[in-house]
A = this chain, B = another copy of it.
Amino acid sequence: MVMFQANTLRDMVDLEHGTISREVFVNEEIYQQELEQIFARAWLFIGHESQVPKNGDYVQSKMGEEAVLLVRDRKGALHVFLNTCRHRGMKVCRYDEGNTLLFTCPFHGWSYDTDGRLVGVPEFQSAYHGELEKEKWGLPEARIHNFYGSIWATWDPDAPSFEEYLGDFEQYLRPLFQGDDGRDNGVELIGGVHKWYMPSNWKFPSTSFQSDGAHGSITHRSVNVAAIGPQGDADGGDRHPVRSKWPRVHLEVAMPGLGHSGHFTVEEAGAPYTETWQTQPEIEDYYREAHEAKMKRFAGQKLITGGGGVFPNMVYQGGGVIRKPIAVWHPAGVYTTECWRFYFVDRNAPQEVKDAMRRYYMRYAGPVGLTESDDMENWNYATPASKGTIARRYPYNYQMGLGHEYVDPSIAPGRLTPHRAEQGQRNRFARWLEFMQANNWGDMYPRSGGPKPLGY
């Protein structure tokens, strides 16, 4: 692989002046370098333990362009395997999900236990003379981490722990997996993961989702007439739930040196419940009670709410108390993103609450959702726009709020800017630059142990 020189990339991503070359979104060599430098080394979101509750359960997932299996083995331990036979590469499992004792390859029949070991090789004695070292030919396995029920994995044995990788962003991410009453590991995945192809470079959604507040009022200008929010027409048809009136600070947050960022509100616990499900009293009751339990649980503490992104390609929403969806923007060629959208609910919620949330998710999100169908349009067409001979001479403008960042741990961790700014996008690209240049994790924070890089 031809590696792009560090200075070439630094010229392209000029965070000091807030400009980024269009080239990074369309260059095939840069894309190949991303697969090696980023997706083969970073911690990636895989799924949720509620997808594989029983021993032998498995479900397909992806890491970068590649298919992996999330498996709960015969003894109950979780694994993430590359879904490829070591003999000639055929996928050892071609179902989207299921339960099995063995993964048997349809080509020549090598079979692998649910813990990845190669256990069956046809004609092992008669043709391999008993000499094949089966223990060396198991399924390639990734390192995994279980973060409050969510599963993450990395291929790099040298990567820091997931905790280090997340750093202080843990405080922003953890609420995503809390139940409606604020207890940890309180959610489950609703069955059915939205999957679709979008003709856009993966970085358009990955560097901007929940760090691009400015697009909402234009991109989503048409959706309010449909009044898809839980409150229906009550709030001018807003696509989001009714906002609380409790005093809160709106912040654009970025973690320098880590690449994570998002848009969050910080407030003292104790807000009264905000009426949301006006027309569905039983749902309203559930959320009111959950809210009160949560306020009690966090009494005297700061509450962080909002959505963000974990570098490189996992993003999530958490606006209001109720929404907990994730998107993962898998690279699928320089011009294509394979989009996956996961939706969570409190696992203890009554079925009608789960149903109400499920319907709201479907109205809002994914390629069919009334809100997000318009995001696809803009991300799609931003990609060919980055390709033109002349267009590439005009870098993109990432200057919103540049120079207005500050740090104030008494408010919240990380670098902050007031709402709105593009510092989150700059920060994700700052991290991108590090990953693209570093030879290995020894050269990169947090593994290197050096001073945190500045970030933008």
* A interface, CB within 8 angstroms of B: 22, 35-36, 39-40, 63-66, 82, 84-91, 105-109, 122-123, 126-129, 131-132, 137, 140, 155, 204, 212, 214-215, 217-219, 377-378, 381-382, 385-391, 393-394, 396-397, 399-404, 420-421
Contact = CB atoms under 8 A, between A and B. Distances in A.
Contact of A86 (B88, B382, B397): B397
Given A84-B388, A128-B399, 16 more contacts: A22-B89, A65-B388, A66-B388, A66-B390, A82-B390, A82-B394, A84-B385, A86-B397, A88-B396, A89-B391, A105-B218, A106-B218, A126-B420, A128-B401, A131-B399, A140-B391
B215 A400 contact: no
Residue among A36, A65, A388 having the largest count of chain B Cβ atoms under 10 Å: A388
A127 B389 contact: no
A91 B389 contact: no
A117 B218 CA distance: 20
27 contacts: A39-B389, A64-B390, A65-B389, A82-B391, A84-B385, A84-B388, A84-B394, A85-B385, A87-B396, A88-B378, A88-B385, A88-B396, A89-B396, A90-B378, A90-B381, A106-B377, A106-B378, A108-B218, A109-B218, A128-B399, A128-B400, A129-B401, A131-B399, A132-B400, A140-B390, A140-B391, A140-B394
Nearest to A132: B399
A15 to B, nearest CB: 16
Contacts of A132: 397, 399-400
A134 to B, nearest CB: 11
Contacts of A214: 108-109, 122-123, 127
A23 B245 CA distance: 58
Given A396-B87, A400-B127, A421-B127, A389 B109 contact: no
Number of identical monomers bound together in the oligomeric complex:
3
A390 to B, nearest CB: 5
B140 A66 contact: no
Nearest to A395: B86
A389 B107 contact: no
Contact of A391 (B84, B129, B420): B84
Nearest to A83: B385
A403 B126 CA distance: 14
A370 B396 CA distance: 46
Contacts of A137: 397
A89 B129 contact: no
Contacts of A393: 140
Nearest to A404: B129
Nearest to A87: B397
Contacts of A91: 381, 385
Contacts of A212: 108
Nearest to A126: B420
A65 B105 CA distance: 32
A140 B35 CA distance: 33
A18 to B, nearest CB: 10
Contacts of A215: 107-108
Contacts of A35: 389
A173 B122 CA distance: 30
A111 B339 CA distance: 30
Contacts of A382: 88-90, 107
Residue among A65, A84, A85 having the largest count of chain B Cβ atoms under 10 Å: A84
A90 B397 CA distance: 13
